[in-house]
A and B are shown apart, each in its own frame.
Chain A
Amino acid sequence: MTNLVSSPSTDSVQGLSPRPSIWSRTRQVFRHRSLLAGTIICCALVLLVVAAPLLTTADPNQQRAMMTFQAPSLEVPMGTDAFGRDMLSRVLFGGRVTMIASLTVVLFGAVFGTVLGLIAGYIGGIPGFAIMRFVDLLLAFPGILLALAITAILGPGLINGVIAISIILVPVYARLVEGATAEVRALPFVQAAVTLGAGPVRIMATHILPNVLSSVIVMTTSWLGVAALWITALGFIGLGVQPPQAEWGAILNDGQAYLTLAWWITFFPGLCLSLFVVSVNLIGDGLRDVLDPTISQ
């Protein structure tokens, strides 16, 4: 036992390889094609959305009766909608809402799910059992169905939609972290820390969390795309963002009625959304290869 306690750092503990330097990781990122492509597309979209006020002078909600259903042209690059609102401006400002909402969703899900998973995996016992059975129960509701049920309770709206989708991501993270925690818990350095008298909170925060974090990060990028699809789906069926606010899903809902008359209302926001989700999925696949070689195919 003394042998274990005196071992200097986690690096030398059997089962964990030395941590690669930041530089070697950065090199890996640039060598990985899908990761690079995803990062470029994603950064470009984020830049466009952030720089929206510089790219367009039109107010996304300003209605112009003389300008309805203008096809894309030099003056209005993405055309105008039924109220004469500038589509470029709506798509750019709407992108902000979609991106921030999806990011909020995965962050909430990740934080709460990770905490619950750590508790269930490390402390176990009755609380752990209770948490995991509740997780099983929430996961028994398919896909977005539970989010719809929660929206039914809370009422339609962007914030409620974000809350609903965050709640259904919590069990997904909890299950992942619980499994990973149970594995790390059995490793010698955790036993060593226990022997040295470290409390459960300290062990979870300083020894277990760093070792499950890469799985959580990989999971977050993979679910960010799904979160964006679900947020916009809520917007599309009228349960998310309420008019006149611009959001990719809500704009697609506007465009649906005028599909044959003005394809551009539907085409551009959907294209941006698809590109965003593709880029996030590419990053997720790449990060999985780089950070978490154990679960790569």
Chain B
Amino acid sequence: MKRPSVMGVSDGGHEMYRYIAGRMVAILALAFGISVLVFLIIRLIPGDPVIAMLGTQAGNVETIERLRDQLGLNAPLFQQYVIWLGNVMHGDFGYSYGRQRPVLELVRLNFGPTLQLTVAALILSVAFGTLLGTWAAIRHNRAPDTIGMAVALAFMSMPSFWLGLLLILLFAVTWPIFDVVGGTSFKGLVLPAVTLALGTVGFNARFVRSSLLAAQTQKHVLTARAKGLRRPAVFVRHVLRNALLPILTVVGLQLGNLLSGTVVVETVFSRPGLGRLLVDAILSKDYLTIQAVVLIIALIYALFNFLVDLLYPVLDPRIARR
């Protein structure tokens, strides 16, 4: 057993460094695995990937040879991967023949709107999920609990594309409060962000409620009440702080659902973004764009969860000591 330390890092900080190093090794291994799987997408397509990629331009023998050379398709698989990875590291994701543009440029153009939408939805989802879950937990087994959980279940069960269409019908057609094709303006962001967030609001609310209920049964909470502390004080200082950690984990996982959820929401609202770019790329067999978008979304997700991991020991110093 280590000598107990107040701040967790006063112990020479060794455990903290080891924890951070461990997480870094894990994320590097994960990033490597992700890159291999994404690399394999093109190699797993049945038939000649070059012909599939070129589509209508496949008749041009010179283009076919150039692309085959560029992708290193004549080399052994391992060498192909090294070539591909080298290119990707330099920001070269290849050229989209369908759109007549470098893939990197397509990604760059569509990244902003998706980031904006995802962050807005994440904020909405965490804020309302926490409020709804806390309200249900405080009034456990009473009307707010039942109503709150019914609402959460309904949100979780509604397909976002249907919800989005209903919101358009209500708030853009019947009562034209918000814009539908507002692009990246604030008025155009509200409906897509709400649509994207609602599914995860339900999940977050349920999760926050159960974490709070679990934290409430711990002995130090009973002690605090027995000392004569008032309920709100106990709740904020002893219950909420202990429930924060599992909630943080869920926020990390939620980002993934939100990022991949943009695929549907951007389609409903005809918003530019990575999700829509991916769907269009799949429909037009634009494999290099598919590769780039899948790689970028998976890496963002991995990186975000890495950052969440780094936050753990700040909230609970015991974690780094395991």
Contact = CB atoms under 8 A, between A and B. Distances in A.
Interface of A: 133, 136-137, 140-145, 148-149, 151-153, 156, 225, 229, 232-233, 236-239, 249, 252, 255-256, 259-260, 263, 266-267, 270, 273-274, 277-278, 281-282, 285, 297
B165 A237 contact: no
B159 A148 contact: no
B41 A149 contact: yes
Contacts of B259: 142-143, 145
A237 B162 contact: no
A143 B290 CA distance: 16
Nearest to B294: A149
Contact of A232 (B34, B41, B159): B159
A281 B279 CA distance: 28
Given A149-B294, A256-B268, A142 B257 contact: yes
A237 to B, nearest CB: 5
A274 B173 contact: no
Contacts of B294: 141, 145, 148-149
A281 B158 CA distance: 11
Contact of B162 (A148, A239, A266): A266
Interface of B: 30, 33-34, 37-38, 41, 44-45, 153-154, 156-162, 165-166, 168-169, 173, 209-210, 213-214, 255-257, 259-261, 263-264, 267-268, 278-279, 281-283, 287, 290, 294, 297-298, 301-302
Contacts of A260: 169, 173
B301 A142 contact: yes
**Most chain B CB neighbours (cut-off 10 Å) among A145, A238, A263, A278:** A145
Contacts of B166: 266-267, 270
Contacts of A152: 41, 281-282, 287, 290
Contacts of B302: 140
B208 to A, nearest CB: 11
A163 B281 CA distance: 20
Interface of B is mostly: helix
Given A145-B297, A145-B298, A233-B159, A151 B214 contact: no
Contacts of B158: 270, 274, 277
B165 A278 contact: no
A259 B168 contact: yes
Contact of B298 (A141, A236, A259, A266): A141
Contacts of A297: 209-210, 213-214
Contact of A259 (B44, B45, B165, B267): B165
Contacts of B160: 233
29 contacts: A137-B30, A140-B33, A141-B294, A141-B298, A145-B256, A145-B260, A148-B294, A149-B38, A152-B41, A152-B290, A153-B45, A156-B282, A225-B156, A229-B159, A233-B160, A233-B161, A236-B159, A239-B283, A249-B159, A249-B161, A255-B165, A256-B165, A259-B168, A260-B169, A270-B158, A274-B154, A277-B156, A277-B157, A281-B153
